[in-house]
Amino acid sequence: MHDTDHSTGTIDRTTPARSRTDDSDSVRGRIDDADGSGNGGGSSSSSSSSSSSSSSVGHGGETVAPAGHTGDAASDAGRAAVPTVDEVAAAAGAASSELASTVPSTRAAWLEAVADALDGRVDELVALADEESHLGTTRLTGEVARTTGQLRLFAAVLRDGAFLEVVIDHADASTTPPKPELRRMLRPTGPVAVFSASNFPFAFSVAGGDTASALAAGCPVIVKAHSAHPRLSRLTATIVTEALRSAGAPDGTFALVEGREQGTALVQHPAITAVGFTGSLAGGRTLFDLASQRPAPIPFYGELGSTNPVVITEAALRGEAAGELARGLAASFTLGVGQFCTNPGLVLVPSGSGFAELVAQAAADTVAGRMLTPGIAESYAAGTARAAGHPGVRTLLGGGTAAADSGVPTVLATTAATVLDALEVLLEEIFGPATLVIEVADDAELHAVLAEVGGALTATVHAAPGEDIAGLVSRLEPIAGRVLFGGWPTGVAVGWAQHHGGPWPATTSLHTSVGASAVRRFQRPIVYQDAPERVLPEALHEANPLRLPRRVDGVLELPVPARA
C-alpha cells in the first residue's frame, strides 16, 4: 500500500531526526554528509563522500559539473573545462533579472517542458538510478512520476497567480495619517543553491521540489549533486538544462556542481540568496551556520531530521485492532529499508499492552535490504547497537548480522522512565528500518516523553472511534508540522494544502519543502509607493493584465475566467 501511495501521490523522504548519526566528526565530513545525504540519515559516510570528491575533482581542484555535463565519468580533459562555482554563480546572477521579469505563465511552460523531458526518458533514468541507489525499478518509476507531477503542480501554482500575493491600496487623503498609494507583491529572491538528498534521487534531488519551487518563484538554481548518485545527477541535469534552453529560458537558469568544497563555496558565494537543503542534522547545521555567518546572511531552508512519534491509546489496541496496527507499523518502518524522513521511529503505547511483541512478529519475515550507501548502513548498525545496548532496552527483533551494506529490521522496546533517563541515546533518530516502542504508565509519562521529543515532521494518533483525544492533540500540535489520525506517516502527498516541516530540528524555518506553498521560501515582499505604472511589474498594473487574484482596498478580487 505504501509503495502505491508513494508512486501515485505521496512523497516520502528520509530524514534522520533529533541527532543523526554522522560518520565523521570533522567539519569536512559533516558538510559532505549535509551533501544531501540528509533525510537519509547519516546519509553520506566519510567513505562515500571521499569517493564522490575524488570522482568529481578536475584540474585545478575544480569539482563543478555544469548542467550539460554528461557521461558516467568525465575524462580529465573534459573535467578541465568544467566551470567553477564563481562562473556558474555569475551566470545565475546574470540571468536573475530576466527570470524575475518573466510572467508566471512563461515559467509554467518551462516547468512543464522539464517534466515532459524527464517523462520521455524515464526508462533510462530509472535504470541508472537503480544502479546507484538499489531502490528498485518500481519505486523509482513511481518517484519519477512524483517528480514530474511536482513540476506540473508548480506550473499550476504559477498559472493560478495567488502565490504573488498581490495587494493594492489606493491613495486616500482622508485617513489619519493620509495614505499614499501602496502596491505590494512577492518577488523572487535571486539565485538559489539546492542540496540534493540521497534517499530520493529524483523527488528531492536535481529536479526535485526545491528546484521546482525555486524556478517557479523566478530564481536561477544551482544544485549541489549528492555523492550517492553522481551519474544520475549529471544525466538529470543535462535533461533539465536542455529542456529549459529549448523552452526559451536564459542561460544561467540552472546548473549543477559536485563535491563538498563546492557545496561549501556555494553557500558562501555572494550571488546566492537562499539555500534549500535536505540532509543530516550535523551537516545541515554546519551549512546553516555558514549561511548565517556570511557578511550578508541568507535564509537556509533545511530539513534535518525527525523521529515522527506515534501515540496509540489503550482503546485503540482492543481486540483484533492491535494486530492490524502492528502490521501497519511494521510495513511503515521497514518501507524502503526505513530510509524515509517520515519513518515512525518512536511509538508510545500503554504499559502491559504487549504491542511491541506484536510488531516484532509482524516484521519478522521482512528481510534485510540493501541501503543507499555502505556509510548509511554503517551508521544504521551503529545507531541500533547504541540504543539496543542501553540498560532497560529490549531487542525483540534484529541484532543479527547481514551483508555489510544492508539494514536489518529492528524492533526495540523500553519504558518511559528509561527514555527520560537517557534522552540523548533513545530519542536520537536512527535512519533505517528500526522503531522503538515506549511503554507509558499514564498520561503524565506520555506527556513527559512528548515534551522531550523535540520538533518532528509528523505526529500520529491512533485512537478508538469517538475517543476524547483533544488533550493529546493539543500536546502534539506544538511539536509537529503534520498531525495524522489513523494511518502511518510514510506518505507525503504533494498538493496545495501539504506542509512538510516542523520545529527544530525537523526544519530550520516555518516553511514547507513539499506542496504548493514551498514557493514562498524563495520570494520576498516588496511595496511600491506612489510609483508610476510604467515602472511597475505587470502584476501590479491597475487593469490587471495578467488576470491575477488580488486584494484591492481590502476587498478580495478574483479574475473572471477568460472566454474560450
Query: For every residue of 349-375, which 3-state class applies, written as one string?
Result: EECCCCHHHHHHHHHCCCCCEECCCHH
155, 111 in Cβ contact below 8 A?
Answer: yes
The three cell numbers of residue 322 are 492491535
Positions of E strands within 13-80: none
Cis peptide before 549 (omega within 30 of 0): no
The single residue of 303, 378, 428, 445 carrying the catalytic annotation is 303
Exactly one of 62, 341, 429, 439 is catalytic; which is it?
A: 341
Candidates 84, 101, 15; CA nearest to 539 is: 101
- Residue with the three cell numbers 485503540: 316
Q: Write out 140-163 in H/E/C secondary structure.
A: HHHHHHHHHHHHHHHHHHHHHCHH
**Does residue 43 contact residue 228 with C-beta atoms inside 8 Å?**
yes
DSSP 523-534: EEEEEEES--GG
d(CA 429, CA 13): 14
Distance CA 282, CA 284 (A): 5
Catalytic (active site) residue 219:
no
Contact 49, 32 (CB under 8 A): yes
Give the separation between CA 187 and CA 51, rounded to whole angstroms: 40
241: left (phi over 0), alpha (psi -120 to 50) or beta: alpha
303 is catalytic: yes
Distances (CA, A) of 99 to 37, 96, 110, 322, 548: 30, 5, 11, 55, 19
Q: Which three cell numbers stand for residue 328?
A: 501497519
Question: Of 52, 108, 78, 2, nearest to 328 (Cα)?
Answer: 2
Q: Are 354 and 390 in contact (CB under 8 A)?
A: no
Dist CA 150 CA 118 (whole Å): 12
The x, y and z cell numbers of residue 244, run together, are 529549459
Q: Cell numbers 522496546 label which residue?
A: 413
Rg (CA), the chain: 24
Q: How would DSSP label each residue in 227-277?
A: TTSHHHHHHHHHHHHHHHHHHTPPTTSEEEE-SHHHHHHHHH-TT--EEEE
Q: What are phi and psi of 195, to 5 degrees?
A: -105, 120
Angstrom distance (rounded) from CA 273 to CA 98: 16
Identify the DSSP state of 322: H
Instruction: Give the active site residues.
Output: 303, 341
